[in-house]
Amino acid sequence: MAVWQKEIALKPFTRGYHLIDDTIQEAIPSLPDKGILHLFVKHTSAALTINENADPSVREDFESSLNHIVKENQSYYTHTYEGSDDMPAHIKSALIGSSVSIPITEGRLNLGTWQGIYFCEFRNQASSRKVVVTIYS
């Protein structure tokens, strides 16, 4: 089995859900005929997921739904050193997850017709984020 790996820096994103398919594709070499692409975000207040990529309202609904589930400014939070979005960002990251794996088939990412790779930024004032890209073939 061959393994290729690269760490990429994502530009700072605004809070929300951002499709990064093109960014990932630009950062990697040509894909092998078969294999697995694995993505891992190296931060505890951001996440990666695969979901609907055609309708932008999905991104708005993600934001409003998670904000409803994990509210800011709660009196029971003790980890608030970096602001009211600090602990909620960590909880959201834990709920969604820090990595995704995608099959590679015939030299292409084998995503469903309506699927896209989302970078989920949970902080109001985020900096650049790092993602480790690994290809197993």
Sign of CA dihedral 69, 88, 123, 5: negative
CB 42 within 8 A of CB 132: yes
pTM for the full model?
0.96
Predicted local confidence at residue 29, as pLDDT: 84
Helices (H), 29-111: 57-69, 86-96
Q: According to the model, what pLDDT value does residue 100 have?
A: 98
Per-residue model confidence (pLDDT) at position 83? 93
Residues sharing a CB contact under 8 Å with residue 115, sequence separation 6 or more, in sequence order:
50, 51, 52, 53
Q: Given a cut of 90, is residue 73 above it in pLDDT?
A: yes
For the chain, domains (ranges, CATH) are 3-136 (2.60.120.460)
